[in-house]
């Protein structure tokens, strides 16, 4: 299954009664396995989680730790980018060269690298004195 197919297939399971903005995400790990996630909102709005976070949680729970590729899809006028927090979450498990493909349900797409999405990323190296 392609990563786009995996993200597209999972998107309808998003729980997004407040924003009505359903997002699907799929990650291919370096082992080749695919992990899917959807956004899960909450009536206490800040408690909601993004699709990317769900896919990362599934990957970690399965015992994989490195991301090889990411795809995110939503019904958006322009390819949907991961939020700032999700960029940092992806960067935790992906090399800067890893490709993230941002998609719309009507076929638009844009592929960016993790480094392009999060220039100046905070890393463990910044804590070298700790």
Q: Which residues bind ligand THU (CB under 6 A)?
A: 16, 19, 21, 23, 39, 41, 48, 50-52, 72, 80, 82-83, 86
**CB atoms near residue 22 (< 10 Å):** 20
Of 34 and 51, the one with the shorter C-beta distance to ligand THU is: 51
Q: Which residue in 47, 52, 69, 116 is the catalytic one?
A: 52
Of 22 and 32, the one with the shorter C-beta distance to ligand THU is: 22
| Residues facing 108 on adjacent strands | none
Phi and psi (nearest 5°) for 15? Answer: -105, 95
Residue for token pair 């800040």 = 46
Is 116 marked active-site? no
Which residue from 17, 19, 92 is spatially nearest to 52, judged by alpha carbons? Answer: 92
Of 15 and 31, the one with the shorter C-beta distance to ligand THU is: 15
Which residues are known catalytic residues? 52
């Amino acid at each position: 299954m392609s990563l786009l197919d995996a993200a597209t297939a999972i998107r309808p399971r998003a729980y997004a009664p407040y924003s009505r903005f359903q997002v699907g995400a799929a990650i291919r790990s370096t082992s080749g396995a695919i992990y899917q996630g959807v956004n899960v909102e909450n009536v206490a709005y800040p408690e909601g989680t993004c699709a990317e976070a769900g896919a990362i949680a599934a990957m970690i729970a399965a015992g994989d730790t490195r991301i090889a590729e990411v795809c995110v899809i939503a019904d958006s006028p322009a390819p949907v980018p991961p939020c700032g927090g999700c960029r940092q979450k992806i960067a935790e498990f992906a090399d800067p060269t890893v490709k993230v493909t941002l998609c719309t349900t009507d076929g638009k797409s844009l592929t960016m690298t993790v480094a392009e999405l999060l220039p100046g990323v905070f890393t463990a190296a910044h804590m070298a004195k700790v």
